[in-house]
Structures are given as C-alpha cells and as structure tokens.
C-alpha cells in the first residue's frame, strides 16, 4: 500500500468511526449525511468521494462487523471438534454477537428499509454469498467426515442461512438466555435432518 492509499484508508476509517457512533446513537434512518458532516468536520463531497452514499458508508461498517465476526470465529473454531459442535457454536456466537453489537438496531433499519441502489444491492448480495459460502464449507466438512448424510450442500447452506436470518428477526426483544436456547433448538432441528445419527 502506497502513501496515498494509506492516507485514503486512514480517512475512511476516521469517517467510519465517527459515523458508527452516530448510527449507534440515532439509528440508521435518523442519521443524515449532514449529521456525519457535522460530526466528522469533513465535507459532504469528501464523504461521497470515499463512500458514494450513506448506504455505502453503512455497508462499509457492516463489512467491518463481518470481518470482526470472522476473526472472532477463527479464534474459537479450534475449540469445536466436530461439524455438529461447530454449528452449535456458530448459533451461540451469532445470537450473542447479534444481540450485543451496537450496530444491530441500525442494521435492522438498513436491511428492512427502502429499495437500495443497484451497486448497494450487489454488495449486499456478495455479503450474503460470503455467509452462504461459510455455511457451505461447514456442511461439506460434516459430509466429508461422515457426520452428515450426502445431500445438496448448496440447498443446505441456504436453509441454514435462512434459519439464521429468520431467527435474528424474530428473537428481537428476547432475553439473551432465551434467544440462545431458541438458536440451539434451531440447530438441533437442522442437524436432525442432515445427521447420520443424533445423540
């Protein structure tokens, strides 16, 4: 990375950090570009240069959240010996991260809000594809090590992601322990359908 690229990344990070605080405090819809200009001391043109739109800026924060989640998972994955344990571990990490992350409320607003521009829709589609690819690898490992039946891995990855998205939306307002129990039960239902044997 050359000096100019480094400066660009530093500016993006500064803008993103200040914007994150606003989105956490006010929510996605109530935070305007003018609020971000006031909080960062940056011009509207500079914000648009780095992120193209408010949606682009927020998606940058979601991408950062995804990276943090992946790093957190990578640090724990070795604790799970089987694919079954990994799916249970995945569910617990998802619910705890989702319920405790400061951007959760703003993210709910963002994803359920008005229609997005095509480039934003494409970036969201790529993000979901990364999630589905993660699920695909998890299920494929289980098939290869004999835990899961041979089946359509693509379909199973989509079913798992659909369950996660639905649980995320419908467990809002639950206490942490109740949500963890719900996600664990969902994991058991999913695993019951694909496992060669369930304890």
Contacts 24+ apart (CB under 8 A), 194-197: 194/139, 194/142, 194/148, 194/149, 194/151, 194/156, 195/84, 195/147, 195/148, 195/149, 196/146, 196/147, 196/148, 196/149
pTM of the model: 0.84
pLDDT digits (tens, 9 = 90+) for 64-118: 999 999 999 999 999 999 999 999 999 999 998 888 899 999 998 898 877 788 8
Going by pLDDT thresholds of 50, 70 and 90, the confidence category of residue 197 is low
Residue in 107, 115, 120 with CA at minimum distance from that of residue 27:
107
Q: What is the mean pLDDT of the chain?
A: 91
């Amino acid at each position: 990375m050359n000096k100019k690229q480094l400066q660009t990344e530093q500016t993006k990070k500064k803008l993103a950090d200040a914007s994150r605080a606003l989105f956490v405090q006010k929510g996605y819809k109530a935070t305007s570009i003018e609020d971000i200009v006031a909080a960062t001391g940056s011009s509207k043109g500079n914000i648009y240069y780095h992120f193209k739109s408010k949606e682009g800026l927020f998606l940058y924060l979601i991408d950062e959240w995804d990276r943090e989640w992946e790093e957190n998972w990578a640090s724990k994955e070795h604790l799970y010996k089987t694919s079954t344990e990994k799916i249970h571990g995945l569910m617990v990490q998802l619910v705890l991260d989702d319920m405790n992350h400061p951007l959760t409320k703003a993210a709910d607003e963002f994803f359920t809000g008005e229609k997005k521009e095509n480039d934003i829709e494409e970036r969201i589609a790529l993000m979901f594809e990364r999630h589905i690819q993660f699920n695909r690898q998890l299920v494929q490992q289980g098939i290869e090590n004999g835990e899961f039946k041979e089946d359509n891995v693509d379909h199973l990855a989509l079913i798992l992601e659909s369950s996660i998205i639905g649980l995320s939306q419908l467990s809002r307002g639950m206490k942490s322990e109740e949500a963890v129990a719900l996600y664990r039960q969902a994991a058991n239902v999913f695993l019951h359908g694909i496992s060669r044997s369930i304890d």
